[in-house]
């Protein structure tokens, strides 16, 4: 059987969906939180000659007149051309271009960035810097000093030493003798905070216990021999093994919980939570009854296209290169303005839909959350679910009940026997309520919690209840039992 290869020319009609550069930019702008949007707009203003922030209208300031002389108009055109030419050279050689200041003048004429740096609080010393400052005051031999510096540099952020001494010894030149490292570690254990340089949890807690006043023999016994039983709340076994009563063990555990720290390294340095800026603000209406939904400041930059750049793009006497350069900047500025406007409209539209469908949340809290899926909202708003996902990505909403990720209000859940949809977060809240109300000497196990939920019309397996309990950081029934 013979085979032949042939080529033919034909026409075929098909429908394709392609993403234009403008649509790609709109999707990227839509996904940015407010802080990234501000930074993106600021960069665009710096690099685009046609884009500027719209200043409020002021009748006392004249921006231009129509009775200017032809020579004056020609001088203005030449100045604009020269400015655009400088922009072109900057874009072609941005790695060699001098730094430019922002168009908007600072308050007192100084560099705004320098002013912000001057008003910024200094960085707090980290763990390694804190320990090195103390170690520099210790009077030890040179080998021990080098050993101590190497150990400090090998500590994990939580203060533990998880690197073997042999590895530290061979990692520096000249090699540090192991006896010097052992001596340095003993001295390092005397530094603040107590527990630094420990190689395991037991050593860490014992080092801290040594700094506490009073008789701590019971606490030392519990840490050295029964720490695992304490963690799993097996107090009767501990009492039988040590000869102490459960009341005495409970008192010792209170001392351990209030005075000892499992991660002493985290006590040093700035560990503040980063500031969250809301993109949407939802509050009760002043007129009463309804909700007021608005975008937070920063989501609505007032941008406009510079008229002089538009004029340069239209004047034939400016030359083709000048017109093309100006036209390109005008088109890019127009696309950015449209993308920002699209983001504002879509974000506000989604926020209003969320506030309407999750109205009960604002009255009773997380237990009032209802089932809300992105696919359902996308169908209601006539868009793709991916658009909803981009709209809520990394966005936060300020509510009368605190700050929440906008994605938090989208949740699934089962239906009760009455056909009512119940959100997963509402079920988690109910699990916590049942456990909080339990008898502490006879805590509820996961099977009992599942049975109680079933009586309320919510059917969950024991495994699902255990998963939610772990997500809520609630210990097991054995660990919650109070003796």
pLDDT in tens, 384-408: 888 899 899 989 999 988 899 999 9
**Is residue 127 within 8 Å of residue 157, measured between CB atoms?**
yes
* 356 pLDDT above the threshold of 60: yes
Q: What is the pLDDT of residue 80?
A: 47
Q: What is the pLDDT of residue 105?
A: 34
8-state DSSP, 67: -
Name beta bridge partners: 294. 281
Q: 421: helix, coil or strand?
A: strand
Choice between 137 and 81, residue whose per-residue pLDDT is larger? 137
Q: What is the pLDDT of residue 83?
A: 46
Distance CA 77, CA 281 (A): 45
Q: What is the pLDDT of residue 203?
A: 94
* 237 pLDDT above the threshold of 50: yes
**Is residue 480 within 8 Å of residue 440, measured between CB atoms?**
yes
In 59-207, where do the E strands start and end?
A: none
Distance CA 433, CA 288 (A): 31
Neighbour count for residue 264 (Cβ, 10 Å): 23
| Residues 13-39 pLDDT 10s | 776 656 677 778 888 888 888 888 888
Task: Round the average pLDDT of the chain to a whole number and report it.
Answer: 80
Choice between 175 and 77, residue whose per-residue pLDDT is larger? 175
**Is residue 158 within 8 Å of residue 200, measured between CB atoms?**
no
Q: Is the pTM of this model over 0.75?
A: no
**Is residue 95 within 8 Å of residue 336, measured between CB atoms?**
no
Choice between 297 and 156, residue whose per-residue pLDDT is larger? 156
**Is residue 55 within 8 Å of residue 331, measured between CB atoms?**
no
Q: Which helix (H) or strand (E) holds 52?
A: strand 51-53
Distance CA 47, CA 51 (A): 9
Q: What is the pLDDT of residue 7?
A: 77
| Residues 34-66 pLDDT 10s | 888 888 988 998 998 888 887 654 433 333 334
**Is residue 411 within 8 Å of residue 369, measured between CB atoms?**
yes
Distance CA 114, CA 453 (A): 59
Bond preceding residue 47 cis, omega within 30 of 0: no
Share of the chain above pLDDT 90, in %: 26
Integer CA distances (angstroms), 58 to 51, 65, 108, 319, 348, in order: 20, 15, 21, 34, 30
Q: What is the pLDDT of residue 482?
A: 82
* 145 pLDDT above the threshold of 50: yes
Taken in order of first residue, the domains within the chain and their CATH numbers are: 127-267 (no CATH), 280-409 (no CATH), 424-480 (1.10.10.60)
* 342 pLDDT above the threshold of 70: yes
- For residue 383, give both structure tokens: 């868009």
**Is residue 392 within 8 Å of residue 410, measured between CB atoms?**
yes
**Is residue 51 within 8 Å of residue 301, measured between CB atoms?**
no
462-471 vs 424-436: helix crossing angle, rounded to 10: 80
| Residues 420-441 pLDDT 10s | 666 677 788 888 888 888 888 8
Q: What is the pLDDT of residue 113?
A: 46
pLDDT tier for residue 415 given thresholds of 50, 70 and 90: low
Q: What is the pLDDT of residue 272?
A: 62
Taking only Cα atoms into account, the Rg of the chain, rounded to an integer number of angstroms, comes to: 34
- For residue 46, give both structure tokens: 């710096």
Distance CA 256, CA 12 (A): 78
Distance CA 208, CA 202 (A): 10
Q: What is the pLDDT of residue 17?
A: 57
Residues 6+ apart with CB under 8 A from 101: 111
Distance CA 368, CA 346 (A): 25
Q: What is the pLDDT of residue 23?
A: 79
Q: What is the pLDDT of residue 77?
A: 45
Distance CA 290, CA 288 (A): 6
| Residues 318-340 pLDDT 10s | 788 888 888 899 899 899 999 99
| Residues 72-128 pLDDT 10s | 444 544 554 444 454 444 444 444 333 433 333 333 434 444 454 444 455 566 889
pLDDT tier for residue 311 given thresholds of 50, 70 and 90: confident
Q: What is the pLDDT of residue 271?
A: 61
């Amino acid at each position: 059987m013979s085979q032949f290869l042939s080529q033919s020319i034909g026409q075929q009609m098909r429908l394709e969906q392609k993403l234009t550069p403008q649509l790609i930019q709109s999707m990227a702008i839509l996904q940015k939180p407010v802080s990234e949007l501000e930074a993106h707009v600021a960069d665009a203003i710096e690099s685009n000659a046609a884009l500027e922030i719209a200043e409020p209208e002021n009748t006392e300031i004249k921006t231009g007149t129509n009775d200017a002389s032809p020579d004056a108009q020609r001088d203005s055109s030449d100045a604009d051309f020269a400015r655009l030419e400088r922009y072109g050279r900057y874009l072609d050689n941005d790695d060699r271009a001098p730094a430019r200041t922002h168009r908007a003048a600072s308050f007192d004429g100084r560099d705004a960035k320098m002013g912000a740096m001057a008003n910024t609080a200094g960085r707090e010393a980290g763990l390694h810097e804190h320990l090195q400052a103390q170690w520099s005051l210790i009077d030890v031999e040179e080998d021990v000093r080098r050993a101590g510096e190497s150990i400090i540099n090998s500590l994990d952020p939580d203060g533990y030493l998880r690197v073997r001494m042999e590895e530290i010894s061979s990692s520096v030149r000249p090699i540090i003798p192991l006896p010097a490292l052992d001596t340095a570690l003993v001295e390092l254990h005397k530094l603040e905070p107590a527990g630094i340089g420990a190689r395991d949890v037991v050593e860490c807690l014992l080092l801290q216990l040594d700094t506490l006043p009073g008789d701590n023999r019971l606490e030392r016994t519990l840490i050295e021999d029964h720490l695992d039983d304490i963690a799993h709340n097996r107090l009767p076994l501990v009492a039988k093994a040590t000869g102490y009563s459960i009341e005495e063990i409970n008192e010792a555990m209170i001392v351990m919980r209030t005075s000892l720290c499992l991660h002493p390294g985290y006590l040093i340095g700035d560990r503040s939570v980063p500031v969250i800026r809301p993109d949407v603000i939802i509050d009760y209406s002043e007129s009463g009854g309804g909700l007021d939904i608005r975008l937070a400041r920063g989501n609505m930059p007032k941008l406009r296209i510079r008229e002089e750049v538009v004029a340069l793009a239209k004047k034939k006497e400016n030359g083709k290169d000048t017109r093309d350069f100006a036209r390109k900047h005008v088109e890019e500025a127009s696309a950015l303005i449209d993308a920002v406007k699209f983001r504002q409209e879509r974000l506000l539209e989604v926020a209003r839909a969320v506030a309407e469908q999750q109205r009960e949340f604002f009255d009773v809290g997380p237990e009032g959350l209802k089932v809300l899926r992105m696919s359902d909202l996308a169908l209601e708003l006539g868009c793709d679910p991916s658009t909803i996902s981009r709209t809520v990505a990394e966005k936060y909403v300020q509510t009368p009940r605190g700050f929440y990720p906008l994605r938090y209000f989208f949740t699934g859940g089962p239906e009760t026997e009455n056909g009512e949809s119940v959100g997963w977060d509402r079920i988690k809240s109910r699990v916590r309520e049942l456990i909080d109300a339990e008898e502490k000497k006879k805590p509820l196990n996961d099977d009992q919690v599942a049975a109680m939920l079933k009586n309320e019309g919510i059917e969950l397996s024991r495994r699902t209840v255990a998963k939610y309990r772990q997500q809520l950081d609630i210990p097991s029934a054995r660990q919650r039992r109070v003796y």
